[in-house]
Amino acid sequence: MSVVILYGTETGTSELVADAIADVLPADHDPSVYDMSEFAVEDLSADDFLIVVCATYGEGELPTGAAPFAEELDSVEPDLDGLRFAVFGLGDTVYDDTFNRGGEIIAEMLTKRGAVQVGEHGRHDGSSSIKPTAQAEEWAGTVVAVIEAEQVAAG
C-alpha cells in the first residue's frame, strides 16, 4: 500500500515533519510527499494510505498552505469512502482552545466525505522542548503498524 503524505504549512515546519515521516516509513510503502496547496483532491485514492501533516495558524485556522486543499474539498465534495488516513498536527498549547486545530479541521473535512481516520492523532506542542521531527518520527512508527494492519484487512 502506497502512502501519500500531504502537508499544510505556514512557516515550513510541517514540510520538515512530512519529510521526517517519509524517511521512517519502509520503502515498500513508497511514501510520497506533497504540499497540500499543490495536490488535487481528485488524486485522493482509497488504494493509498493518507497521512496529513498540518500546522495551526493564527487563532485556530488552517495555514495558508492548506487553504487551497480545504477549499477544493468543499467545492468538489469527493466521495472518499474507503480512504484511510492518519493525522499529525502542529500547534502550541499557548492557544489553549485552538491547540492543534488545523489538523482537526482537515480530519473533520475528510471524515465528512467518507474517509476514516485511524491510529492516534499525533499532536506536537510548539511550547515543548521536543523537536517536531523527533516526535513525528516516533509517531510514524506507530502508524506503520496501522498501515500494515490496513493492508492485511484489505487482503
- E-only strand ranges, 67-136: 84-91, 116-117, 122-125
Cα pseudo-dihedral 83, 105, 101, 57, rounded to 10? 110
Instruction: Please report the sign of the dihedral spanned by the C-alpha atoms of residue 109, residue 110, residue 113, residue 114.
Output: negative
- Residue pair 63/54 in contact (Cβ under 8 Å)? The answer is yes
Q: What is the pLDDT of residues 36-67, one digit of tens each?
A: 999 999 999 999 999 999 999 988 999 999 99
Query: Measured between alpha carbons, how far is 67 from 85 in angstroms, rounded to an integer?
Result: 19
Q: Which CATH class for the 3-154 domain?
A: alpha beta
Local structure of residue 85 (DSSP, 8 states)? E
Query: Measured between alpha carbons, how far is 27 from 31 in angstroms, rounded to an integer?
Result: 7
- Residue pair 117/110 in contact (Cβ under 8 Å)? The answer is yes
Q: What is the pLDDT of residues 69-104, one digit of tens each?
A: 999 999 999 999 999 999 999 999 998 899 999 999
- E-only strand ranges, the chain: 3-8, 32-35, 49-55, 84-91, 116-117, 122-125
Name the pLDDT band for 117 (thresholds 50, 70, 90): very high
Is it the case that residue 150 has pLDDT exceeding 90?
no
Query: Measured between alpha carbons, how far is 81 from 129 in angstroms, rounded to an integer?
Result: 38
